């Protein structure tokens, strides 16, 4: 049994942010455990064209802004390079290729069992992220389908899809952007959209909408929300005639109530209007050569991409966490109390319009200060 004061599980942006915060507080006795063979492994495997949807000045990790030379919307590869540089700057050296199998309370401490060792710690920070396990629903007749079904996690670029007829199931930000990527390379694309969506342009008149939203949020009496809604209506026009249903909820309300993030449009709506991306309703079943929609339409497709999200899978690793789950099987707080005393959860609150990286920046400060306070009390 290896005894350490603090364990951070996960070496993605959330885990690195925690280590950076602790370093700046002079706390060096911590261990970072990472299941992959490198830090930031998710960012290394994302699709090629991915850029941050939030502006760089509000998306960096603590104590280390993005380089000035980086663009407003940082690319996937630049994020990878930045995370590598962050680990070097704060001397973060995770134990790689070591998966956590179980976390359980042992007295006042936490026992962490991994594929390599067992640890005993006073404080454990869970930073494994919301994109851990691909959510892969199935449909009747799928076994008879002769095409390929794969999750968006494995999509890289349009090259393997040229000459194919592609269906993307799910119009979140990933589904929307993969559809755009394929359409830009003349791959025939259908996009199945089950629920009403909220649409937000990434930029408006050359200005990031994230900046505009911060200004509108300061306008009292809900006028900012109303003005934002009018701007979106004018910008996108009537998209319902193309098969899309627009949510009647304001994007912030929909995000907090349903967990569905607004679709930040990078050009997919224009492709839909031009017929380069064809919208379908929900899928009812598969058949040998394609799918059948809930409206009974048969559509022939040779490749299906499931842009159906992920599951965090925390309860398998740490059953006690289920007692503080919200409606999305994610922790509803960042600092554990009572039976969860000494545990922390960062990188799971994806329900803020500022983006997950901005939330990580803020939450890491709160958690680091709480950890420091507990260490100081132990010294007294």
Q: Indicate whether 187 pLDDT > 90.
A: yes
CA dist 277 to 18, 131, 167, 295, Å? 41, 26, 10, 19
DSSP 325: B
- Amino acid 48: pLDDT: 96
222: pLDDT strictly greater than 70: no
* Mean pLDDT for the stretch of residues 178-192: 98
| pLDDT at 351 exceeding the cut of 70 | no
**Burial (0-12, 13-18, 19+ Cβ within 10 Å), 134:** middle
Q: Which of 115, 112, 113 is nearest to 6 (CA)?
A: 112
Q: What is the pLDDT of residues 305-336, one digit of tens each?
A: 999 999 999 999 999 999 999 888 899 999 99
Q: Identify the pLDDT of residue 354.
A: 65
* Superfamily per CATH, domain 134-306: FAD/NAD(P)-binding domain (3.50.50.60)
Q: Which of 100, 92, 111 is nearest to 27 (CA)?
A: 92
% of the chain at pLDDT higher than 70:
92
Question: Has residue 213 got a pLDDT over 80?
Answer: no
pLDDT at 162 over 80: yes
Three-state DSSP class for 333?
A: coil
Q: How confident is the model at residue 225 (pLDDT cuts 50, 70, 90)?
A: low
pLDDT band at 370 (very low <50, low <70, confident <90, very high): very high
DSSP 45-98: HS-TT-B-SS-GGGTSBTTBPPPTTS-SS-BHHHHHHHHHHHHHHTT---B-S-
pLDDT at 259: 67
Q: Dihedral sign, CA of 317, 319, 321, 327?
A: positive
Q: How remote is the C-alpha of 83 from its chain's centroid?
A: 16
Q: Do domains 2-132+312-379 and 134-306 have the same CATH topology?
A: yes
Please report, in angstroms and rounded to a whole number, the separation of the first and last CA atoms in the chain: 26
| Average confidence (pLDDT) over 364-378 | 93
Residue-level pLDDT at 349 = 82
At residue 223, does pLDDT exceed 70? no
The domains of the chain are located at 2-132+312-379, 134-306
Three-class SS state of 148: strand
pLDDT at 204: 85
Determine the 3-state secondary structure of 304 from DSSP.
Answer: strand
Q: What is the pLDDT of residue 295?
A: 96
The dihedrals phi and psi of 267, each to the nearest 5 degrees, come to 140, 0
pTM reported for the whole predicted model: 0.93
Q: Is 37 helix (H, G, I), strand (E, B) or coil?
A: coil
Class for domain 2-132+312-379, per CATH?
Answer: alpha beta
| Nearest Cα residue to 262 out of 361, 330, 354, 359 | 354
Judged by DSSP in three states, 297 sits in: coil
Kindly state the helix (H) or strand (E) to which residue 255 belongs, with its residue range: helix 251-258
pLDDT in tens, 39-67: 999 999 999 999 999 999 999 999 999 99
CA-nearest of 245, 213, 207, 205 to 353 is 213
DSSP code of residue 196: -
pLDDT at 216 over 90: no
- pLDDT tens-digit series, residues 60-103: 999 999 999 999 999 999 999 999 999 999 999 999 999 999 99
**Quick check: 375 pLDDT over 70?**
yes
Across the chain, mean pLDDT equals 92
pLDDT surpasses 90 at 380 = no
Predicted confidence at residue 188, as pLDDT, reads 96
> What pLDDT, on a 0 to 100 scale, did the predictor assign at position 43?
96
């Amino acid at each position: 049994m290896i005894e350490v004061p603090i364990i951070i599980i996960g070496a993605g942006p959330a885990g690195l942010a925690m280590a950076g915060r602790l370093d700046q507080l002079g706390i060096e006795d911590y261990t970072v455990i990472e299941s992959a063979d490198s830090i930031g492994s998710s960012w290394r495997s994302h699709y090629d064209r991915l850029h941050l949807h939030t502006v760089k000045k509000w998306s960096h990790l603590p104590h280390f802004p993005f380089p000035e030379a980086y663009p407003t919307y940082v690319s996937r590869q630049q994020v990878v390079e930045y995370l590598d540089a962050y680990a070097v700057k704060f001397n973060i050296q995770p134990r790689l290729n070591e998966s956590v199998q179980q976390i359980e309370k042992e007295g006042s401490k936490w026992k962490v069992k991994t594929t390599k060792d067992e640890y005993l710690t006073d404080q454990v920070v869970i930073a494994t992220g919301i994109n851990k396990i691909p959510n892969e629903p199935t449909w009747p007749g799928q076994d008879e389908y002769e095409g390929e079904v794969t999750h968006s996690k494995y999509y890289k670029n349009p090259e393997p899809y040229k000459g194919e007829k592609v269906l993307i199931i799910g119009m979140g930000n990933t589904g929307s952007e993969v559809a755009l990527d394929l359409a830009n390379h003349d791959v025939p694309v259908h996009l199945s959209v089950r629920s009403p969506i909220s649409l937000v342009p990434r930029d408006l008149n050359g200005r990031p909408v994230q900046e505009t939203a911060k200004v509108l949020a300061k306008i009292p009496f809900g006028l900012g929300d109303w003005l934002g809604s009018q701007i979106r209506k004018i910008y996108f026009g009537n998209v319902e005639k193309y098969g899309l249903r627009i949510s009647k909820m304001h994007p912030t309300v929909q995000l907090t109530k349903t967990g569905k993030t607004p679709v930040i449009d990078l050009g997919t709506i224009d492709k839909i209007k031009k017929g380069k991306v064809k919208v379908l309703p929900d899928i009812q079943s598969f058949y040998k050569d394609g799918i059948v929609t809930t409206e009974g339409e048969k559509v022939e497709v040779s490749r299906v991409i499931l842009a159906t999200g992920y599951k965090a899978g925390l309860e398998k690793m740490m059953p006690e966490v289920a007692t503080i789950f919200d409606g999305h099987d994610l922790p509803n707080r960042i600092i554990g109390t009572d039976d969860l005393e000494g545990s922390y959860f960062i990188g799971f609150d994806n329900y803020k319009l500022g983006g997950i990286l901005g939330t990580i920046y803020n939450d890491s400060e709160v958690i680091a200060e709480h950890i420091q306070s507990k260490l100081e009390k132990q010294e007294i």
